[in-house]
Structure 1
Amino acid sequence: MSRARLNIFLERDHARRLDELAAMKGLSKSSIIAAALSSFLSPDSGDQREAAIAKRLDRLSRQLDKVERDQNILIETVALYVRYFLTVSTPVPEAHQEAARAQGRARFEQFIEQLGRHLLRGRSLVKDVYEEIQPEERQFFGLDASTGDHRPATPADSKTEAAP
């Protein structure tokens, strides 16, 4: 295959990045430029770019659908809790309202502190509560039974937990 020699001018940043890529991949700069030019001049390069963009958009759409689903679950959960709380809460007599407010402030401060600690740990409260209710089901979430750390479940896990 015969090749034509070209002298081209590149911006300094592009030349630096080309040098780095050639060194990292162990390829010649000419082969990298030839591959890039071939891809650019390919008749279906536009279709390939469009397909790649469509694939990314589909993935983003699925992720957004999951976020929307999770948000709806959260909204419904909070609404159900508020409705239940307001339904079963007894009114506080006038004489005890100041003490109830003080206790409410203290509970709210405690709630905020617990929330902060929990967020710093980076674990899901749903998983924690589920583990409290069903401790034998820890492998359901891929958790190490001794530390609570995430790890892949192995076939040995089911044998170990099945043995009394």
Structure 2
Amino acid sequence: MKIPKKKRLSAYLDPDVMHALADYSARRDVSLSLVAEAAIASFLSPDAEERKEAAITRRLDQIDRRVQRVERDVGIAIETLALFVRFWLSLTPVLPESARAEARAKGPQRYDGFVDALGRRLSKGPKLRQEIADDVPSAPPAGTDELPAP
């Protein structure tokens, strides 16, 4: 069987495109003609659009999963903060006027200790979001999620 001879094509390319084509063919150690032929064949292929769509769909699925994780983590953070504030407000007595000045003076020191502890917690595992199961049962009806007894 005789292999048909390839036909010659002369095309004008933008200098940037030509430079990119030359760089690509040099990196792959193939001819400019082979790279151009493969690119044109891919462009004309009926399944090129399907491949692009599949790649975009995969990428969108990855982004969707990441957004869902971020939403979950933000929800955990908000609920954690709300629960902490609720505990703190419920269990911390109001200081007498005489002790307030000393408490204000110790506030920055205690805050620095909190930030240091938070830094240590974040630098080593496990993170709170990893400790919480993805399939946590739904919350009980409103008004029944009372604080545990101190």
Q: How does 1:1-164 map to 2 (within 5 A)?
A: 1-112=4-115, 114=116, 123-124=123-124, 126-127=125-126
**Identity, % of aligned positions:** 36
Q: Distance in 2 between matches of 1:65 and 1:117?
A: 25
Q: Which amino acid aligns with 1:123?
A: S
- Answer with 1 or 2: which has the greater Rg: 2
- Secondary structure of the residue aligned to 2:126 is helix
Q: For 1:102-132, what per-residue CA distance to the aligned partner results, in whole angstroms no more than 9, with x for missing partners? A: 11123224444x379659xx735x4289xxx
Rounded Cα–Cα distance in structure 2 between residues aligned with 1:31 and 1:25:
11
Equivalents in 2 of 1:18, 1:118: separation in Å? 51
Greater percentage in helix: 1
Q: Distance in 1 between matches of 2:47 and 2:92?
A: 67
Please report the TM-score for the alignment, with normalisation by the length of structure 2: 0.72
5+ residue gaps, structure 2: 129-150
Contiguous gaps of at least 5 residues in structure 1? 130-164
Say which SS state the counterpart of residue 51 (structure 1) adopts: helix
Q: Residue type of the partner of 1:127?
A: P
Q: For 1:18 and 1:116, how far apart are their aligned partners in 2?
A: 52
Q: CA RMSD in A?
A: 2.4
